[in-house]
Amino acid sequence: MFPRVLFSGTCRLPEFNSMDLAVDVIDSPARMRELSDTFREAAPPLGLVPTMGALHEGHLSLIRRAVSECASAVVSIFVNPAQFGPGEDLDTYPHTFEKDLEVCREEGVSAVYAPSVGQMYAKGFDTWVEVPSLASGLCGPCRPGHFRGVATVVAKLFSACKPDRAYFGEKDYQQLVLIRRMARDLDMGVEIVSCPTVREKDGVAMSSRNVNLRREERENSRSLSRGLFRARELLGEGEARAAVLIQAAREELTKACVEIDYVEVVDSETLAPLETVQGSCRMVMAAKIGATRLIDNISLVP
């Protein structure tokens, strides 16, 4: 059944006059497919950077890479209500649409795909994409339906934009792994390009939700990266037991009095929990600071 929140939120697309912009703004899947065909025929490859807007330096790192590596680059801006659950921050998610368009123009983006909720989810919509094995752990239990919404909207973005490459940040690591699996399993023909997490000077991972943090909460948010870096430091000293690394990271979060959701060491591809750091793995964590839920992760190499 379609999530009730999909139609109850105030997700909105600000009014704009595309004639005043130096970047094409496309608001329908059909028009986007036509333009994508034009781009691909003129000069491949075509790159896509999916976003929910409120663009920051993390997004810009993806956009700049797409622009530098592809003949044409499309940025999608769509706050996807299907990935928000009841009580989450759909209504308060930051909207900076006009500013985002200006950023895209300055960065040389070929087009912005900004469909409305009605365009993406017509009345009676009832088709979903799921990757159960990768959505069941980590953020999955506390955000039921979230990754189904993510996989579905990304599949729809791929269908409309028809990219050769799609760029995703490693900060949302579970999402990245899930989308890579979906693209592979469904033979979508899209190369999923992962890009390193961009951090503030104090180590905090850039996120559109950081603007919701009060001054004290912003200070406490540093505990996530401190915990990750402490675990990596211990690994460099020879400590490979996951339980010890997790405890060290949790201590940093506890000292900041944040509400810990999880801290785990997982396999980089399967996201299965590990007891010992070996091969390719990551430490992943989520914590709630005030009313804001933040995630972060770091690679661990023995």
* CATH number of the structural domain spanning residue 88: 3.40.50.620
| Tally of domains in the chain | 2
Q: Which residues of 242-251 are buried (b: 16+ CB within 10 A; e: fewer)?
A: beebbebbbe
Residue 17 shares a structural domain with residue 88? yes
Please tell me whether residues 35 and 141 are part of one structural domain.
Answer: yes
Looking at residue 22, what is its pLDDT?
67
pLDDT at 174 (0 to 100): 98
pLDDT by 10-residue block (mean), the chain, 302 residues: 34 41 87 98 97 97 98 98 93 94 97 97 97 97 96 98 98 98 98 97 95 96 98 97 98 97 98 95 97 97 88
- Distance CA(74)–CA(70), nearest Å, equals 10
pLDDT of the residue at 2: 33
Mark whether 63 and 133 lie in a shared domain.
yes
Same domain, 166 and 276: no
Range of 275's domain? 208-300
Which of residues 139, 167, 195 is at a domain's end? 195
Domain boundary (195, 217, 233) is at: 195
**Cβ(180)–Cβ(158) below 8 Å:** no
Tell me the catalytic residues: 59
What H or E segment, with its residue span, contains residue 49? strand 46-51
Indicate whether 102 and 225 sit together in one domain: no
Domain co-membership, 220 together with 291? yes
Q: How far apart are CA 283 and CA 295, in angstroms?
A: 11
The token pair at 196 is: 């390193």
How many residues are present in the chain?
A: 302
Domain assignment of residue 203, yes or no = no
84 strand-pairing partners: none
CA triple 251-254-255, angle to 5 deg:
85
CA distance 182 to 160: 16
Per-residue pLDDT, 259: 97
* Same domain (yes/no): 15, 85: yes
106 and 20 in one domain?
A: yes
Handedness of CA 206, 208, 101, 42 (dihedral sign): positive
Q: Mark whether 214 and 191 lie in a shared domain.
A: no
Q: Is residue 202 part of a domain?
A: no
Helices (H), ranges, the chain: 5-8, 29-42, 57-69, 97-106, 117-120, 132-135, 146-161, 173-185, 215-220, 222-236, 242-255
Given 195, 218, 237, which residue is the final one in a domain? Answer: 195
Bridge pairing between strands 259-267 and 281-289: antiparallel
